[in-house]
Amino acid sequence: MMANIIEFRGPALVSAHEERQGLWSVDGTLTFQRPASAPDRVLEGWVLPGLVDAHCHIGLGAGGAVDEQATLLQAQADLEAGTLLIRDCGSPGDTRWVQQRTDLPRLIRSGRHIARSRRYLRGLGHEIEPDELVETVRKEARDGDGWVKLVGDWIDRSIGDLAPSFPARTVKEAISAAHNEGARVTAHCFGEDTIDHMLDANIDCIEHATGLLPRHLARLVEQSVPIVPTLVNIATFPDIAAQAAPKFPDYAERMLRLWDGRRERVLEAFEAGVSIYAGTDAGSVIKHGRITDEMQELHDAGLPPAAVLHAATWGARAWLGAEGISEGASADVVVCSEDPRRELATVAALKHIVIRGKVVR
């Protein structure tokens, strides 16, 4: 049988500062060596590794797990946006079947969210008390693909404000248990104190991170803990605040304050040298397929295009242990009409999308 060959004609951006000419996909594998036979397809433009959505929820809807058809549509919407690798940040259903489908984005699962009883969106997570945390984390560490997701804080209606979900000491034991299982842990953190607790506990990543304070920045850098700001989701805070205001005015005010500082927090983190990755939080509230909106948000916060691209391609892939554009890597790439380092908006209208050597567009 003849090999299936795609020729990429244009600069292949193997990193922010290195481009190469001459890239082919031969039966789904990238190579810089010109194949003996003529290509079946020629795709012209600037080639980037497939986009990464580092905080996404596949198989999750507003009320919990959704069926296979709905899950499929979510994954396809992400694919159409150029997202070819997803770190799932918590899903109540079993989405392992997605990993068997060669026409869908690659998926790294975190298992199910772990939240405090009655302190999370209903139907999404395990809702547990502190004495169950270590065991639940251990179980999810075994079920997931190397990641565990904690809901680090949420509104505590008894005090009418945001508060950490679990005692700091218990979180520390739980994260240590996950590390013993070989898994990394990430946590939803809206508030300030939660980030201290998580850093004390040697967390591996912080989601949302709206409560970042100057005191956290050096620790994030020293401990190599990245943040995934999910700015397209933070944009919903004013709605959350408006709904909560009549009953929980302090909480509402706090959410508005966190929303107001969202871009400054991201820029401060970037300037301090904290690793930042692009995540949409698509799933329960945010629609799938919005990775390039998140990239634009990161740019609006002050990240230069190369840093935004790092957050959604080269950097995110290296962090997750996934291949980029290299000899022998899977042909999971997107092709832009213009140089995305000069014109970031070009990623919102990708010319071509190729997954495992198949041209999706």
The residue (of 281 and 294) whose beta carbon lies closer to Zn ion is: 281
Distance CA 145, CA 252 (A): 36
**Contact, 249 vs 279, CB < 8 A?**
no
The residue (of 13 and 60) whose beta carbon lies closer to Zn ion is: 60
Report if residue 58 touches Zn ion, rule: CB under 5 A. Answer: no
The residue (of 26 and 255) whose beta carbon lies closer to Zn ion is: 255
The region of 74-82, 86-94, 267-275, 319-327 touching Zn ion under the rule CB under 5 A is 86-94
Report if residue 281 touches Zn ion, rule: CB under 5 A. Answer: yes
The region of 7-15, 158-166, 256-264, 274-282 touching Zn ion under the rule CB under 5 A is 274-282
H helix or E strand, kind and range, residue 318 = helix 314-320
Min dist CB 43 to Zn ion, Å, is 33
Beta-sheet pairing, 83-88 with 227-228: unpaired
Min dist CB 55 to Zn ion, Å, is 6
Scanning 31-183, the segments in alpha helix (DSSP H) are 68-80, 133-143, 168-180
Beta-sheet pairing, 23-26 with 5-9: antiparallel
The residue (of 12 and 320) whose beta carbon lies closer to Zn ion is: 320
Query: Is the Cα torsion angle 109, 114, 118, 119 positive or negative in sign?
Result: negative
Query: Is the Cα torsion angle 54, 58, 62, 64 positive or negative in sign?
Result: negative
Paired tokens of 183? 């898994």
* Sheet containing 227-228: order of strands: 126-128, 114-116, 147-151, 184-189, 205-208, 227-228
The region of 82-90, 153-161, 218-226, 332-340 touching Zn ion under the rule CB under 5 A is 82-90
The region of 210-218, 236-244, 253-261, 280-288 touching Zn ion under the rule CB under 5 A is 280-288
Of all residues in the shown chain, the one whose CB is closest to Zn ion is 281
88-117: contacts with Zn ion (CB under 5 A): 89
The region of 3-11, 20-28, 87-95, 98-106 touching Zn ion under the rule CB under 5 A is 87-95
**Contact, 168 vs 200, CB < 8 A?**
yes
Min dist CB 324 to Zn ion, Å, is 25
Distance CA 204, CA 147 (A): 9
The residue (of 196 and 281) whose beta carbon lies closer to Zn ion is: 281
The residue (of 91 and 330) whose beta carbon lies closer to Zn ion is: 91
Min dist CB 266 to Zn ion, Å, is 17
The residue (of 53 and 332) whose beta carbon lies closer to Zn ion is: 53
Interface with Zn ion: number of residues (CB under 5 A): 2
Distance CA 173, CA 133 (A): 9
Min dist CB 79 to Zn ion, Å, is 19
Report which of 183, 210, 138 is spatially closest to residue 126, judged by C-alpha positions: 138
Contacting positions for Zn ion (CB under 5 A): 89, 281
